[in-house]
Amino acid sequence: MSGEPFPEEDGMPDEEWIPPQDAAPAPAGVDTTTGELTEDAPGLEVLPDLLDRMDSVEELAANLFEELTSYPAGGPWFWEELNPEQRKELWAELDAFVVWLQNRILRHWSNSAGWIPACWYRHPDAVEMLTALMVAHKAAYRAKSKKPSFELTEWFSRGLWPTMETFEKRLTFKNCMDNQGHYDATGAGLELTAESDDFTAFVEEETSVSESEKTAPADA
């Protein structure tokens, strides 16, 4: 075996390093070779714009926090969980929506069966459905987007028309429209009672653990 050392491999020629084409470009105002700021680098003049942006972010965060903490888990349209002041605000909002809906759209129907009478707020079932319709309208029309979509037509096809058809089929407002005033329906439907005696006894029996289940060995 020869004791001569192995010849060293030729090294790579010294060439100027060329950055890849997909490398991120240097930000404006920065020298690409030294990384130092150039004369056209942004200075104190950008501070007002940055401060305005920070104020906008803080305002958005404050509004989001207020919305999340001021309303129950069901949202600001869940009637049962709203306090008196919140209910008052929702009543005002819903009233404005119903008046707009009747005057802008429904009153132009020749069939009065599709109209909403002035006593609509005395019909609890209608109040819940009209609230849902209003929320859907807010989602479709108040989204800040300029991109065309089917949301507006879907509000009509999936929201308004089915709601009004339900009112007509269930005769929600028929007696009020016929009598030209609010009409308290006689023979109201079945009303359930929460946690009735029979229901409570059933739940106790259905969820009780038998003696055999208590003493049965656990599966290995």
pTM over 0.95: no
Contacts (Cβ under 8 Å, ≥6 apart) of 35: 26
pLDDT at 35: 60
pLDDT at 143: 73
Q: Give the separation between CA 163 and CA 118, rounded to whole angstroms.
A: 17
Q: What is the pLDDT of residue 54?
A: 76
Position 128 scores a pLDDT of 97
Average pLDDT for consecutive 10-residue bins of the chain (220 residues)? Answer: 54 55 57 63 63 72 64 78 94 97 94 90 95 95 80 94 94 85 69 89 86 59
- Tell me the C-alpha distance between 133 and 102, whole Å: 13
The SS3 assignment for 73 reads: coil
How far is the C-alpha of 144 from the C-alpha of 149, rounded, in Å? 12
pLDDT on residue 112: 84
Cα–Cα–Cα angle for 123, 129, 132, rounded to 5 degrees: 140
pLDDT value of residue 108: 94
